[in-house]
C-alpha cells in the first residue's frame, strides 16, 4: 500500500545526504516564510561548502552501483515515487501553496504536473537505445551506446518548487546518474518533501542528495559543485543572469549544461482570431502562478482592428479576478513571492505610465491584503520604450501593444534576446504556417495558452538557454554517447 503522510510529516528541515537527514555542518539555519503574511513556516539547514562537498562525496560513492542497476529496476523505483507523489497530492499541494503562495488549486495542479514527469521518465528509462552502425570495414563492428553522464547538480527555482526539481531528478535517475540538488531559498520545503518520498520509494542512499541554503551561502555551496570535476552536469532553471554565471564558472571542468532561463514571451492576437478563445488563452497563460512563470506572456500584441474590443473583453475578465492568500479556496491570484518581486512589478508599471501607458484595470499594490500583493493589471498603449517591453515583469501585468500588420508583429515579437515561449491566435491557415516558423522561440502556442506537457520538449533558444526537459528528447541531456569499435572479427 502506498503510504500517505500527514502534512506536518512531510516537513523536513535538514539536508538529505547519503540517505540521512543531517543538519548543516556548522548548524546554521535560515527562515522560510509564508509570502502571504510573512509568518515563519520553518527554519531549515543553511548549507555551505562543506555540505555541498559532502553531497558530492555521497553521490560519487553511490554512482558505480546505481549506474549498473537495470533500467527496469530504476523504472520500478520511479513508479513507486510517482505513486507516492500522487497519493500525497493534497498535502504536497498545500505545502507548495504555503511556501510559494500560489492558489491551492494550482498547488495541487503542480503536484500532478510534476508527477507526470516522473511517470514519463519511468517509462523512458527502459527505452534508451544505442545503434549498431552499418558496417564500414570487413572484420570491424562499430556501435554507439549511451551511458549516464555521471553526477548531476540540479539547481531549481521557487516558482514551481515541485515540478521543476521532479523533471530534473526523474530523467537523471532514470538513466543511472546520481543527483545533488539545491532548491531556491524561498521554497526549500517542497523539494525536501519530494526527496522524502523518493527515500520512501526506495532510492538507495547517496543516489539522491539535497542541500538547502540561503542566498549568499547557497552561492558558495553551488560554487563548489561548479569547480568539482566529479560533477559532470548542471541542470538549472532560473534567470538568464544566473545561467550565464553557471556557464562561466563551470567552464573550468567543461560540464554539460541544461539551462532553462528567462523569457519575454510575445502573445499575438491577429484580426482574424477568435477573440473569446484568445482572451481565455491569455488568462490561462498569463495569470498562471500570478504571472510568475517563465512561459507567461510578457508582451501582448493586438492587431489594430480588434485592439479596443480585445482590451474591453480582457479587462472585464481581469477586473473580476479574486486576489488573496493561497489558504482561501476562492483565490485566483496569490501573493508575489517576496517584496523584491512586488517592487519590480510596481517599477515596471510606473515606468510604463510615464512612457504613455494607460491603466485599464489594476495598476496598484494591495496593501490591505499584505505587502506582497499586486492587483491583476491591464495596461493599454504599451510601447517599446517601456522597461516591461525589454525585461520579464514576472507578475500579473498585461501590457497591450498595438500593431498594424503581420510583418510588424513578427519583428516586434522577435526583438528580444530571449526565446522561450510565444503564442499567437489566428484562424488563417497560411498565416499559422508562416508565423509558427518565423517566431524565434523554443515553444509556440498556436490558438492555445496551456502548452506545457511532460510529453513535449520544453526549452528555449537564444538567451533563454539550451537543453530540453520532458518528451523523448529529455533523457539526452543526462547521457553521453560512447562509440565502440571492435576489430579482428574475421
Residues binding ligand SIN (CB under 6 A):
159-160, 237, 260, 293-295, 452, 458
Q: Who's near 282: CB < 8 A, 6+ residues apart?
A: 267, 269, 297, 300, 314, 398, 423, 449
Q: Which is nearer to ligand SIN, 133 or 461 (CB)?
A: 461
CB 167 within 8 A of CB 114: yes
Between 240 and 452, CB nearer to ligand SIN = 452
Q: How far is the CB of 467 from ligand SIN (least distance, A)?
A: 13
What CA–CA distance (Å, rounded) separates 395 from 186?
17
With residue 197 as reference, give the H or E element that holds it.
Answer: helix 188-201
Residue nearest to ligand SIN (CB): 452
Quickly count: other Cβ atoms within 10 Å of residue 466's Cβ. Answer: 17
CA-based nearest residue to 443, from 415, 424, 417, 416: 424
DSSP 8-state symbol, 116: H
C-beta of 282: minimal distance to ligand SIN in Å?
15
Strands of the 256-260 sheet, one edge to the other: 20-22, 15-17, 208-210, 178-182, 151-155, 231-237, 256-260, 465-466
- Shortest Cβ 163–ligand SIN spacing (Å): 6
Q: Least distance (Å) from ligand SIN to the CB of residue 132?
A: 36
Nearer to ligand SIN, 115 or 360 (CB): 115
Question: Residue 237 or 250: which CB sits closer to ligand SIN?
Answer: 237
- 83 near 251, Cβ under 8 Å? no
Q: Nearest distance from residue 475's CB to ligand SIN, in Å?
A: 17
CA distance 14 to 376: 37
Q: How far is the CB of 93 from ligand SIN (least distance, A)?
A: 16
E strands present in 206-264? 208-210, 231-237, 256-260
Nearer Cβ to ligand SIN (188/465): 465
Please answer whether residues 275 and 285 qualify as being in contact, where contact means their C-beta atoms are separated by less than 8 angstroms.
no
Distance between CA atoms of 44 and 395, rounded to whole angstroms? Answer: 27
- For this structure, is 406 an active site residue? no
Q: Which is nearer to ligand SIN, 176 or 459 (CB)?
A: 459
Q: Give me the catalytic one of 14, 185, 260, 463.
A: 260
Task: Show which residues are catalytic.
Answer: 260
Amino acid at each position: 500500500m502506498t503510504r500517505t503522510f500527514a502534512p506536518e510529516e512531510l516537513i523536513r528541515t535538514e539536508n538529505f545526504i547519503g540517505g540521512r537527514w543531517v543538519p548543516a555542518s556548522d548548524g546554521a539555519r535560515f527562515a522560510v516564510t509564508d509570502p502571504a503574511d510573512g509568518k515563519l513556516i520553518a527554519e531549515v539547514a543553511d548549507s555551505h561548502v562543506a555540505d555541498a562537498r559532502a553531497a558530492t562525496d555521497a553521490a560519487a560513492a553511490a554512482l558505480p552501483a546505481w549506474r549498473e542497476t537495470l533500467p527496469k529496476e530504476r523504472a520500478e523505483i520511479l513508479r513507486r515515487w510517482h505513486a507516492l507523489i500522487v497519493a500525497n497530492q493534497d498535502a504536497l499541494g498545500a505545502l507548495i501553496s504555503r511556501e510559494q503562495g500560489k492558489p491551492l488549486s494550482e498547488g495541487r495542479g503542480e503536484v500532478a504536473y510534476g508527477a507526470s514527469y516522473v511517470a514519463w521518465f519511468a517509462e523512458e528509462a527502459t527505452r534508451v537505445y544505442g545503434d549498431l552502425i552499418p558496417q564500414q570495414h570487413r572484420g570491424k563492428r562499430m556501435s554507439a551506446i549511451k551511458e549516464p553522464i555521471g553526477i548531476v547538480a540540479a539547481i531549481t527555482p521557487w516558482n514551481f518548487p515541485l515540478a521543476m526539481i521532479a523533471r530534473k531528478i526523474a530523467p537523471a535517475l532514470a538513466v543511472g546518474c546520481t543527483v545533488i540538488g539545491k532548491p531556491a531559498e524561498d521554497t526549500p520545503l517542497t523539494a525536501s518533501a519530494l526527496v522524502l518520498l523518493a527515500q520512501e520509494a526506495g532510492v538507495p542512499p547517496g543516489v539522491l542528495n539535497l542541500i538547502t541554503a540561503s542566498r549568499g551561502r547557497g552561492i558558495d555551496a553551488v560554487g563548489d559543485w561548479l569547480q568539482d570535476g566529479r560533477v559532470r552536469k548542471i541542470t538549472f532553471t532560473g534567470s538568464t543572469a544566473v545561467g550565464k554565471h553557471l556557464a562561466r564558472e563551470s567552464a573550468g571542468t567543461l560540464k554539460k549544461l541544461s539551462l532553462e532561463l528567462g523569457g519575454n514571451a510575445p502573445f499575438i492576437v491577429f484580426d482574424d482570431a477568435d477573440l473569446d478563445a484568445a482572451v481565455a488563452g491569455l488568462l490561462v497563460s498569463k495569470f498562471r502562478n500570478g504571472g510568475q512563470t517563465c512561459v507567461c506572456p510578457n508582451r501582448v500584441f493586438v492587431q489594430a482592428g480588434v485592439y479596443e474590443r480585445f482590451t474591453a473583453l480582457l479587462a472585464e475578465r481581469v477586473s473580476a479576478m479574486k486576489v488573496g492568500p493561497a489558504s482561501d479556496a476562492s483565490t485566483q491570484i496569490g501573493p508575489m513571492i517576496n517584496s523584491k518581486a512586488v517592487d519590480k512589478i510596481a517599477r515596471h508599471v510606473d515606468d510604463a505610465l510615464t512612457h504613455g501607458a494607460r491603466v485599464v484595470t489594476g495598476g496598484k499594490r494591495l496593501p490591505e491584503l499584505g505587502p506582497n500583493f499586486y492587483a491583476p493589471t491591464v495596461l493599454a498603449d504599451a510601447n517599446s520604450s517601456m522597461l516591461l517591453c525589454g525585461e520579464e515583469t514576472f507578475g500579473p501585468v498585461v501590457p497591450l501593444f498595438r500593431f498594424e500588420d503581420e510583418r510588424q508583429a513578427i519583428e516586434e515579437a522577435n526583438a528580444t534576446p530571449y526565446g522561450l515561449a510565444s503564442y499567437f491566435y489566428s484562424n488563417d491557415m497560411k498565416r499559422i504556417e508562416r508565423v509558427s516558423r518565423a517566431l524565434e522561440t523554443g515553444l509556440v502556442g498556436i490558438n492555445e495558452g496551456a502548452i506545457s506537457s511532460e510529453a513535449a520538449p520544453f526549452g528555449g533558444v537564444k538567451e533563454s538557454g539550451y537543453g530540453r526537459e520532458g518528451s523523448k528528447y529529455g533523457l539526452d541531456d543526462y547521457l553521453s554517447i560512447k562509440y565502440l569499435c571492435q576489430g579482428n572479427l574475421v
